[in-house]
Chains A and B, each alone.
Chain A
Amino acid sequence: MAAVATLPDDVARVALDLPLRANLSALENIALIPLYQRHYKAAESSRQAQVMLDQLGYADIALLRDPDMTPAQRFVAKLARALILKRPRLVIDRPGAMLYDVPYPAFIGQLAALAEMTGTWEIYDFSWNQALYQE
């Protein structure tokens, strides 16, 4: 798993060790990327972040901060932040550590279908969890 942390720069990661900024809402966490990387104005960045949450079917978490979210909501916020980076590869690192309250292979599958994003989604998980993905 150490290899996941040293992935190249063109990989967007969703991982337990890459948390959200605790004093910002989900929307603000996601909006930081267009704001700082693509230099959009605050209003436009927030709009893009909201569109991303809408696309994932979690528009209602926009104003929640990290400690107020369920594990699934937190995962979606991190996923939206990774997706808005628009990198060609998306790596979900040990999803079981983040999504301990839902059957996560099916949950991620649903999100992937909703997101309709181009690029590759990869899941890095422990080998003993392989059976979960075959159900």
Chain B
Amino acid sequence: MNFLVTSIESLGAKVVGWFTVGYGMFAFLTKASLLLLDRTTWNRATFDVVVKQVYFTAVQILHVFLGYALVISWLIITIILSTARDFGLTAFASEMTIRVLVLELLPFLTALFIALRSGSAINTEVALMQVNNELDALEHCKVPPMQFEFLPRLIGGVVSVITLAGLAGLLALLMAYLTIYGINMAGLEPFTRTIAKVFDFPIVAGLIVKCALFGLAVTLIPVTAGLETPKKLFMVPVSVLRGMMRVFFAIVTIEVVSLALKYI
């Protein structure tokens, strides 16, 4: 009986914990969105920090990221093409490549890449700021932490994921054309027709929304996880661990929901 009570209590505590975390994230996002609509937020100082964030999140890693996207794309395209040839489905190879790589795999890998590189750094930095009282010091100086520290990171994350996923997609399309048709213009017409067929308005809008949600997940979750950190230095690794697990689940959930909406 005692075991049952303890189990129910523990489950209840977990559910309450999830709701608290969810509410905290939602409240933070609402506050950030309202601030985003406020004209006074958009001063030179905030704009400069946003530019700096986009530089650190997207531009600084561009060559590594594009190299990685190139290798992954080439591998997947080669696999799709050889499988399509084996089954006599070569005509569908370009559409398959676009659907698998550009719409699904590359945005997902981009989000994972940004989460591992920037999300973990954001989580650690915010947790350390929280533990070291740096946020209190900013508030004492009337420098709004939301405007100076958090909002630029959210915007930077969203802009970076959309841009990097877009660039990786373009690179994959180029790779697909070269692998399927070789270096000549003969396949341009059927290839562009396939692109136009796949990229109708709902698909493009859905892709942008998905990338924006990925961008939010890899920045909003680490920021809120960092802010939840108790003021004890040894809790920083725990905060990063929790934050990164939540980011992983959020990315997978967004991908699964997007697939379900598209294909079920």
Contact = CB atoms under 8 A, between A and B. Distances in A.
A22 B132 contact: yes
B47 to A, nearest CB: 10
Interface residues of A, number: 18
Contacts of A39: 43-45
Given A22-B128, A39-B43, A41-B44, A33 B143 contact: yes
A17 B137 CA distance: 8
A32 B141 contact: yes
Interface string A13-38: 10001111111000000001101110
A18 B137 contact: yes
Interface in B35-67: 43-45, 48
B191 interface: no
B140 interface: yes
B158 to A, nearest CB: 22
Interface string B5-34: 000000000000000000000000000000
Given A36-B45, A42-B48, A18 B133 contact: yes
Q: From DSSP, what is the main secondary structure of chain B's interface residues?
A: helix
Q: From DSSP, what is the main secondary structure of chain A's interface residues?
A: loop
B125 A23 contact: yes
A81 B141 CA distance: 8
Interface residues of B, number: 20
Contacts of A20: 134, 137
Contact of A18 (B48, B125, B140, B148): B140
A41 B47 CA distance: 11
B143 A18 contact: no
Interface in B162-178: none
Nearest to A30: B141
B134 A85 contact: no
Nearest to B128: A22
B147 interface: yes
B143 A17 contact: no
B205 interface: no
Nearest to A16: B133
A22 B148 CA distance: 14
A66 B48 CA distance: 22
Contacts of B48: 42
The CB with the most chain A CB atoms within 10 A, among B137, B141, B142, is that of: B141
B40 to A, nearest CB: 9
B50 to A, nearest CB: 13
Contacts of A23: 125
B116 interface: no
Given A36-B147, A41-B44, A42-B44, A17 B133 contact: yes
B132 A32 contact: no
Contacts of A32: 138, 141, 143, 148
Interface in A66-92: 81, 85
* CB-CB nearest 4 A-B residue pairs: A18-B137, A35-B45, A36-B143, A32-B143
Given A19-B134, A19-B137, A22-B134, 7 more contacts: A18-B133, A21-B138, A22-B132, A33-B142, A35-B45, A41-B44, A85-B142
27 contacts: A13-B140, A17-B136, A18-B133, A18-B136, A18-B137, A18-B140, A20-B134, A21-B137, A21-B138, A22-B129, A22-B132, A32-B138, A32-B141, A32-B143, A33-B143, A35-B45, A36-B43, A36-B142, A36-B143, A36-B144, A36-B148, A37-B141, A37-B142, A39-B43, A39-B44, A41-B44, A42-B44
Interface of B: 43-45, 48, 125, 128-129, 132-134, 136-138, 140-144, 147-148
